[in-house]
Each structure stands twice: as structure tokens, then as C-alpha cells.
């Protein structure tokens, strides 16, 4: 009797052991189009806009020079400031008529000029916009903006200058904004000199060259050495255990179906039903009035709060709570029904510290934060940011 019992005991232990052993992990498989890898070490320039140190220096001066704005009070850096990861730290940007920087930036006379309608995206790694899951991209057709309305940094650079609430203000009309700004630049000897050196000829101060110089500078704003990059390049210790678990959660939750490739964006527009920011006073309908917005990069996400096109999510935990509410079937934008939401949204468990830790591993704080001491116009560097 006892031998039988002992025998059956050992037999069941053996069966248990083999069952357990046969349950080996095959691993979580990532679809090629949803793959995420390290960023490349070098940036590709468009064929017609090779980078030179002089061009980058000119672009940097223009980027920080409020001479590009109607009232000479706003520069690109007013909203894309290195202290805020080349964003502005605000929910909605304050361009024309504003003063101060970051949280303390406000309108001098509230109500006179509207807020710019969407949260400012970072310019870090904007050189890689359009990169697919295999790391390929074409800088000449790189998609720009939440609604993908423009291609290439060269073309994008001129648009804020002509936009009323961003830089133009009441001084110019939309049609003559660029020409008026070019006339101002031609009147400044340093700019005449620099444009001639960089582009050649006496008529070098053109809209096209203005765009090219700014774009060349933007292509130097690279942050491609985040813990995640080092990890994917082979340094297993670059990410913590929590970040590695977070990476698995990121994939399990299907975050990488949209936040794919080394830029963590598929550069496509999706309907997430993010609510409007009530400060706007109207509903932002996104791409082609479909309420679709382009997937933002998650690179340097730790530096660019607040989040989403409405700028209403204060922290990454808030963003994850947003995804949890979507999962639970809540309608968050009165104009977007739950049935319109993107079918790729299939979060299961999102509000997790591990997932937040993983997003922190996408941040590389070693980028160029230098601000020029002065700009050729002699105006305050960066605009009215004091």
C-alpha cells in the first residue's frame, strides 16, 4: 500500500515535471511592419540641400531670430525651445502677442490673438520624420504636422512665418509675409553675407534658401542615443528590468502597431477620439476633417509634456489612463463616436509603471541645447521669452 502510494507520488511528480518543462516560451513575435529598432547614427539630407557647417550656423541664427515674425517678438525657438525638448511645455502654444517661456508664458493682452490650435511637437529627431519600420525614409517627402499637410522640413519652415497666430500677427498679410521677412533679412549685412557664403550669388536671400538653411539646422537636432537605442545596438544593460518588461507590455498592448519603427510612429493618421481643448473655442477636426491625427513620435517623450494634440494630458500616466478609458469604451470627444475609433486600438492593460519606465528609455537628453548669445538682427534671442 505504502509503496503504491510512494510510487504514484513520484510518478505524478515526474508527469508534472515533464509537463512544466514542455511549456517552453517561444517568445513574443513582432510583425516586420510593427518592428522597433535603434535610430541610425547619421542623418540623410535631401539631394538639393546638403549640410555644411556654415549653413547650419545660418539656420540656427534664423531659428532664434524674432526678425522672422511680424512684431519681431516670436522666433521658432519661442515654441521649440531647447529647455523644453524643443517643444514649449504648454498645452497650446502662445505665439504672437505673448511673453515669457514655458509655464509662465502668457498673452500680453488676452483675447487679442488666439492660441495656436495644437500642442507643439518636439523638433528633436524631426530629421527622421517619415521613417518606416525598416529605418528607411526620404527627407524630401518627410511628412510634417499632426494632419500631414506638408512634406519636408524645407517646405515646413516657411509656414509658421506666414501663420497669423504663430509668427505673422497683424503686421503682414498672409500673402506678403514671406516677402516682407526676406526684405528685412536683406537689410541686415550679416544675413546678406551669410546667405552669400552659404548659397552663392548676390540674390541668395530667397524663400527657398531661407527654408533650406532652417531645415539644415533642424537636421542637427538629433537625439539617437537613448537607453533603448543602446539596448537594441547590443548593450543588454542599457535598459532596466522594468523598462524591458515595459517594452513587452508596449508590444502586447499593440502600441507598436501605430508607434512603430525607430521613431515610434507610423506617420499615419488615426482616429483616437482625443477631446478638444476648450480654450480653442472650436473643434479641431484633424486630417481632412476626419478627426484623424498623425501618430506622434514617442522619442524624448519624457521631456515634452503635456501630451496629445490638445495638450491636455499632463503626464504619461494621464496618457495611459486615456488609453484605458478608450479600452473601456468611453467616448471622450463629443464629435467622435466609439465606432469611429481606429480598429488598431486594442490596449488591454496600460496604466503600468513598467510601460512608463519604458517610455523613459526612449529619451536621450544629450542633444544640442546651446542657444546663441546674439542673433544678427540684434533683437532679443528667441523673441519675447523673458
Partner 1 sequence: MKKHVFICLLVVASQSALAQQPLRYTIWADGVLNAQLPKSNLYGLGAGLRAEVSMSLRSTKNAFFTQVGYTRFFEKEAFTANIGLLNVGYRYQVGRAFSASLGVGAQYWRERMRVRFPDYVIDETFTNILPSATVGLGWRIKTRYHIGLENRVLFKPENGRLSIRDNVALSLGYTL
28 touches, from partner 1, ligand HEC, none (C-beta below 5 to 8 Å by class) = partner 1
To the nearest 10 degrees (0 to 180), the angle between helices 177-186 and 189-199 is: 100
DSSP-derived secondary structure letter, 350: -
Chosen residue from 36, 58, 61, 76 binding ligand HEC by CB under 6 A: 76
Which of 133, 135, 122, 137 is closest to 300 using CA atoms? 122
The answer to the question of residue 251 lying near partner 1 (CB under 8 A) is: yes
Q: What residues from 342 to 371 belong to the interface with partner 1 (CB under 8 A)? A: 348-349, 351-354, 357
Helices (H), 233-306: 241-252, 255-258
The DSSP bridge partners found for residue 143 are 151
In degrees rounded to 5, what are phi and psi of residue 307?
-115, 170
149 contact partners, CB below 8 Å, separation of at least 6: 287
Least gap, CB of 185 to ligand HEC (angstroms): 13
d(CA 77, CA 353): 33
Q: What residues from 2 to 31 belong to the interface with ligand HEC (CB under 6 A)? A: none
Q: At 16, is the secondary structure helix, strand, or coil?
A: helix
The residue (of 19 and 370) whose beta carbon lies closer to partner 1 is 19
Site string for ligand HEC, 240-269 (x = CB under 6 A): -------------xxx-xxx----------
Binding residue per annotation — 23?
no
The answer to the question of residue 296 lying near ligand HEC (CB under 6 A) is: yes
d(CA 212, CA 190): 18
Binding residue per annotation — 309?
no
The answer to the question of residue 146 lying near ligand HEC (CB under 6 A) is: yes
Chosen residue from 1, 42, 202, 241 binding partner 1 by CB under 8 A: 241
Site string for partner 1, 23-62 (x = CB under 8 A): xxxxxxxxxx--xxx-------------------------
How many Å from the N-terminal Cα to the C-terminal Cα in the chain? Answer: 90
The DSSP bridge partners found for residue 198 are none
237 touches, from partner 1, ligand HEC, none (C-beta below 5 to 8 Å by class) = none
- List the grid coordinates of 308: 496629445
16 touches, from partner 1, ligand HEC, none (C-beta below 5 to 8 Å by class) = partner 1
296 contact partners, CB below 8 Å, separation of at least 6: 121, 146, 265
244 touches, from partner 1, ligand HEC, none (C-beta below 5 to 8 Å by class) = partner 1
Is residue 239 a contact partner of residue 361, using CB atoms and an 8 Å limit? yes
- List the grid coordinates of 83: 529647455
Binding residue per annotation — 79?
yes
Binding-site members are 76, 79-80, 255, 258-259
Q: Which residues bind ligand HEC (CB under 6 A)?
A: 68, 74, 76, 78-80, 93, 95, 116, 118, 120-121, 123, 126, 129, 144-147, 153, 156-157, 160-161, 166-167, 214, 218, 253-255, 257-259, 270, 272, 274, 293, 295-296, 298, 301, 304, 307-309, 316, 319, 323, 342, 344-345, 347, 350, 355
Amino acid at each position: 500500500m505504502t509503496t503504491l502510494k510512494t510510487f504514484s507520488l513520484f510518478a505524478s511528480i515526474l508527469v508534472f515535471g515533464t509537463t512544466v518543462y514542455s511549456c517552453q516560451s517561444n517568445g513574443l513575435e513582432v510583425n516586420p511592419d510593427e518592428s522597433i529598432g535603434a535610430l541610425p547614427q547619421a542623418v540623410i539630407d535631401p539631394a538639393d540641400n546638403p549640410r555644411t557647417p556654415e549653413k547650419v550656423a545660418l539656420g540656427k541664427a534664423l531659428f532664434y531670430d524674432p526678425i522672422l515674425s511680424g512684431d519681431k517678438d516670436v522666433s521658432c525657438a519661442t515654441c521649440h525651445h531647447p529647455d523644453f525638448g524643443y517643444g514649449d511645455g504648454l498645452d497650446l502654444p502662445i505665439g504672437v502677442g505673448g511673453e515669457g517661456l514655458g509655464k509662465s508664458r502668457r498673452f500680453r493682452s488676452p483675447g487679442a490673438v488666439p492660441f495656436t490650435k495644437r500642442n507643439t511637437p518636439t523638433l528633436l529627431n524631426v530629421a527622421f520624420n517619415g521613417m518606416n519600420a525598416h529605418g528607411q525614409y526620404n527627407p524630401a517627402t518627410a511628412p510634417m504636422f499632426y494632419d500631414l499637410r506638408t512634406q519636408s522640413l524645407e517646405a515646413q519652415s516657411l509656414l509658421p512665418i506666414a501663420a497669423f497666430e504663430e509668427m505673422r500677427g497683424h503686421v503682414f498679410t498672409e500673402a506678403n509675409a514671406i516677402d516682407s521677412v526676406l526684405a528685412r533679412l536683406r537689410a541686415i549685412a550679416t544675413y546678406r553675407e551669410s546667405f552669400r557664403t552659404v548659397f552663392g550669388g548676390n540674390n541668395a536671400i530667397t524663400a527657398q534658401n531661407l527654408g533650406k538653411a532652417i531645415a539644415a539646422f533642424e537636421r542637427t537636432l538629433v537625439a539617437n542615443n537613448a537607453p533603448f537605442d543602446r539596448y537594441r545596438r547590443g548593450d543588454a544593460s542599457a535598459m532596466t528590468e522594468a523598462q524591458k518588461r515595459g517594452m513587452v507590455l508596449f508590444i502586447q498592448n499593440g502600441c507598436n502597431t501605430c508607434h512603430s519603427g525607430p521613431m515610434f510612429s507610423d506617420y499615419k493618421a488615426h482616429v483616437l477620439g482625443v477631446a478638444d481643448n476648450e480654450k480653442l473655442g472650436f473643434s479641431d477636426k484633424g486630417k481632412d476633417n476626419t478627426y484623424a491625427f498623425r501618430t506622434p513620435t514617442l522619442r524624448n517623450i519624457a521631456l515634452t509634456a503635456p501630451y496629445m494634440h490638445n495638450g491636455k494630458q499632463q503626464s504619461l500616466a494621464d496618457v495611459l489612463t486615456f488609453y484605458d478609458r478608450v479600452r473601456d469604451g468611453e467616448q471622450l470627444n463629443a464629435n467622435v463616436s466609439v465606432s469611429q475609433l481606429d480598429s488598431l486600438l486594442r490596449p488591454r492593460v496600460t496604466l503600468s509603471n513598467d510601460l512608463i519606465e519604458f517610455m523613459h528609455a526612449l529619451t536621450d537628453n544629450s542633444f544640442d541645447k546651446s542657444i546663441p548669445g546674439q542673433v544678427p538682427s540684434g533683437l532679443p534671442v528667441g523673441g519675447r521669452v523673458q
